[in-house]
Chain A
Amino acid sequence: MLKAISRIFKIISMLFFLYLFLVSISLMSHAFKGFGHGFAERLITTTSNPFVGLFIGILATSIIQSSSTTTSMVVAFVAAGTLSVRNAIPIVMGANIGTTVTNTLVALGHITRKEEFKRAFSGSTIHDLFNLFTVAILFPIEMMTRYLERTGTFLSSLFLDMGGVRFTNPIKIVVKPAVDLIYGVLRRSIFVSEGLLNTIILAVSVALLFISLYKIVQIMRMLVIKRADIVFDKVIRKNALLSMIMGMLFTAIVQSSSITTSILVPLVAAGVLEIEHSFPIVLGANVGTTVTAILASLTGNIAGITVAFVHLIFNVTGILIIYPFKQLRAIPLKVARFIAEICAKRRILAFVYVIGLFYMLPLILIFLSKYFR
């Protein structure tokens, strides 16, 4: 009885934070709109260089350690019209790389035991490497063909034709009173210029986004972890497709690929799971994490939905290009083992790898691209 009440309470809390999440995205879009054309132009100019967009995506996600947050914010930017779909795509790609920092940090926790660390580091870098390889392949293809933009637009138009936007209308209607209320309260209680008010609203929306996503992840984890524990043991090591589906579903439910991939690292470290078996789960997590952006896009317009679809297509294409082919699939696995071998021999290199790849390199490249523009 008590268990059932606690479960119901958790579900109600989760629905409340989901609502808060949708409100935060909508509020953010309003704030961006409020900044006017000047802000939009500056943002578009800054991200018009796709490399800068890519590195912004890596850096921002590495800092906040959540691709769901970055992509949801990108969706809000695009829905507000302050960022074009084209400029948003490299940021989404960068977010995919940046999000892998979390499990790499988890692997660093095993650094005192050499063999264990070697396994843990290969288990975490497989995610980094797969996402890096996917970007290395798809980024130039996108630059040349705009296939992600076109496919995303096509799919969102199908969504529109299917009445998808009509479906999104109730969400907009439900979210609107809360957005209006927050806007109204802030406007009436803080007597500042319109620009500063928008900055405050943006700060409030970002805070709400972080809190709501954090709580959704926490509650959903509590709700499904016991089942995940049971399912996990039966699925892993058996069938790559089932593992992928499990990784996707678990991540879609808990709304965090970092949770899924971070669970795998200690298992690989302990030697009870080979990276060949954790790999499909990681790929499933890549797809599952796109659900958050899709949810966020439901509060916005067709452009926001396009970006959410781009995130999904990008991850699915990456899997379809690399995973089905044995030789291609072996590349990230071999490189992950090679990097882990080197870093286990000279453990300082592991820190160089994390700081260099996720923080220093994007920072330097953003600076250089700005300097040499």
Chain B
Amino acid sequence: MFKNLMAFWKGKDFLTEVLEEFKEMLDDTKYMFESVCRGLIEGKADPCLKDKTYEIDKKVNLIEKKIRKRIVEHLSIQPTIDVPASLVLMSVVKDAERVGDYCKNMFEIIGLLEKPLKKELFKELFDNIDKEIMDEFEMTQKAFIESDEEVAREILYLERRVVRKCDEIVRTLAKSNLPTNEAVCLALLARYFKRIAAHLTNIGSSVILPISDLDFFDERLRNEKG
């Protein structure tokens, strides 16, 4: 009992603990994205991919709930400390959870495809977007955990590029003569890539945006350009 109490007493403080958990969420979703992409694009599907994907998604959801609970506890005990950080975290955990959901949706495309994806076609259409999103995962983690404003700004531009490419893919697919099944699956994939990039940008841009502007990074980008 005394050992337990001492262990509790020596625990980490709120922000350290929550940031560690949030980093775990980002690591998990990155792993999900990487494995699903490998299975989908390169056809190197792990036989346990389905179980792994759903299991990690469940874990990500649990961490989201845990972080939210922890924030409410913290604000009830110390209502004046870490309010902005708590509000930002409350918002970005939702984004990380959504990334997990989209990775799961990407996995479901494997089941929808009648034939495996043609590598050349994918390469031609998507032009390494998956790799750019992988870079965005890394950058998001660095920007958010280390509060790196430079990296946060780079994320904004990277996201723009991904969005433009994804929109272009959908336009190309709409005009193409590809079989319906393949066209729908590729269009969905482009859509999910775009959403994942946007959610990661929500997380990364929270470093430079005021709390009231969270999720509206595109307006910021327009203003900076304008």
Q: Which residues of A contact B (CB under 8 A)?
A: 225-236, 241-242, 245, 263-264, 266-267, 270, 272-273
Contact = CB atoms under 8 A, between A and B. Distances in A.
B216 interface: no
Contact of B70 (A226, A233, A245, A266): A233
A264 B74 CA distance: 11
Contacts of B76: 263-264, 266-267, 270
B5 A272 contact: no
Contact of B8 (A226, A231, A270, A272): A231
A231 B9 contact: yes
Contact of A245 (B5, B12, B72, B74): B5
Nearest to B75: A266
A145 to B, nearest CB: 33
A227 B202 CA distance: 32
Contacts of B78: 225-226, 229
Contacts of B11: 230-231, 233-234
A236 to B, nearest CB: 8
Contact of B13 (A230, A241, A245, A263): A230
B4 interface: yes
Contacts of A267: 72-73, 76
Main SS at interface, chain B = helix
Given A225-B78, A231-B9, A242 B73 contact: no
Interface of B: 1, 4-5, 7-9, 11-14, 17, 68-70, 72-78
A233 B4 contact: no
Interface centre among B1, B9, B73 (most CB of A within 10 A): B73
Contacts of A272: 68-69, 72-73
Given A267-B72, A272-B72, A228 B8 contact: no
Contact of B14 (A230, A235, A245, A270): A230
A229 B69 contact: no
Given A229-B74, A264-B76, 15 more contacts: A225-B78, A226-B78, A229-B14, A229-B78, A230-B12, A230-B13, A230-B17, A231-B5, A231-B8, A234-B7, A241-B1, A245-B1, A245-B5, A266-B76, A273-B73
B63 to A, nearest CB: 14
Contact of A232 (B12, B13, B77): B77
Nearest to B7: A234
Nearest to A265: B76
A117 to B, nearest CB: 16
Contacts of A232: 73, 77
Nearest to B71: A272
Contacts of A233: 11, 17, 70, 73-74
A247 to B, nearest CB: 13
A227 B7 CA distance: 12
A119 B4 CA distance: 30
Given A233-B70, A234-B11, A272-B72, A228 B5 contact: no
Contact of B77 (A228, A235, A245, A270): A228
B81 to A, nearest CB: 8
20 contacts: A225-B78, A226-B13, A229-B78, A230-B9, A231-B8, A231-B9, A231-B11, A233-B70, A234-B11, A241-B1, A242-B1, A245-B5, A264-B76, A266-B75, A267-B72, A267-B73, A270-B72, A270-B76, A272-B72, A273-B73
